[in-house]
Structure 1
Amino acid sequence: MPVSTIMLEASHGIERTLVLGDETELMPALPLGDVLAEELDIDVPYGSLVVIQAAGAWDAAPEAVSYRIGSVVGEALVGVVERGGFALDVETRALFAMAASYARLAEGTEFRHLGLSPERFRAGLGASLGAYWSGARSSRTETSGMFVSPDFLSDSRLHAYLASCDAGFVPPRAVPASLMCFSGGLRAHDAWLEEAEGAVTAHLAREERRAAQVLSRDR
């Protein structure tokens, strides 16, 4: 994600990755960015994402780091949906589409050259999305088994489960990696959120028009 990111570790009290905008208010008129700058003397650029994980989360083998990156991306995507920028009837499809785009991005040669394992990245992505979609407290308490495989997004069991939770859910047919790939360098978190919401909304609208055209031809 082309957003300035601050990585923090907590010695206790963290069960799952937290991904917060620097403007998140811990108390009225007391944003997270100001607290970090004042209490920890950390420079927090405006519009940053703050990622908080358990201590030692990044002191691991490369494949474990790939998993962590996937979980961070998953939490960030959940944050996009929870912001309320999508209509309720497309929230599930929007989150699925964003996840599918990042899953394809992870296959790119540029990420492989950086040492990213696409399989472990997708597994971490599934851990975050599984906790959200199932309502579990964390990935460790999500026991359905639908989100364990790196190919969880293509699992028919997941599609059926999401359709049972959201009658309007239909898996997007072809999500390009470019859906969540924005040019122009770093931008503020709010700007990235608006860009992501606009791109995904437009993509889902195109999918709906194509589906309507197919249905019309078949009649």
Structure 2
Amino acid sequence: MAKSDVTVVLAHGAWADGSSWARVITALDADGIKAQAAPLPLTSLADDVAALNRSLDRTDGPIVLAGHAYAGAVIALARPARVKALVYVAALAPDEGEKVADVFYRLPPHPQAPKLAPDDNGLIWLPEDAFAAAFAQNATGEDHAVLAAVQRPISLNCITVPAGRPLWKDVPSWFLIAEQDRMIVPETQRFMAERMKATIRALSVDHTPSVTAPRVVADIIRDAVHAASGK
């Protein structure tokens, strides 16, 4: 299979790290598509955008950016020069001047969504039982244990500052709406996807399909890659 000249850069959301993309990376590799996961510190929106841009600097050629959950806000603020498409995976897409918290709390939460509160350091950790209840309810017990063990907390500084002009106003976007999502209300996902005029795929998956339905995620990324490469 011919290798694509497009590099996919994957940005993890809150309470995750790059390992949450492992199965998507291997699925894309099988399709001849190179992918790398960008490590985000989750310390502030500006810090995360800077970290993502550093990962972009390590690539050559055209880029497709994919973001999960909170990282939707991050990929939309990346340096645009080589970014040809954006892929939102059950992700948040604040408009210019909106905060991540504004869109996250736009509608009442799912009954099984966890109660979130910062600790004394201003960091929000996900309760361990929330991985099975809401974060990835379709995952195995082994996956839940790993997700809980590697989780990275998110700072209030990530979700309480207004976002800048989002890149989705200027480049094509794809959006995977997770219909079984218990973290980000599916109706909110659809509102954001329609607002950004994304190519929408609504599927019966949970909040973290990169773990529980990786082929589905790889397929929508592959569509964006093909569009970006003109193939």
Query: If the length of structure 2 is used for normalisation, what is the TM-score?
Result: 0.30
More helix by share: 1
| Greater Rg by CA | 1
- The structure carrying a bigger strand percent of its residues is 2
Taking structure 1 as the reference length, the TM-score comes to: 0.31
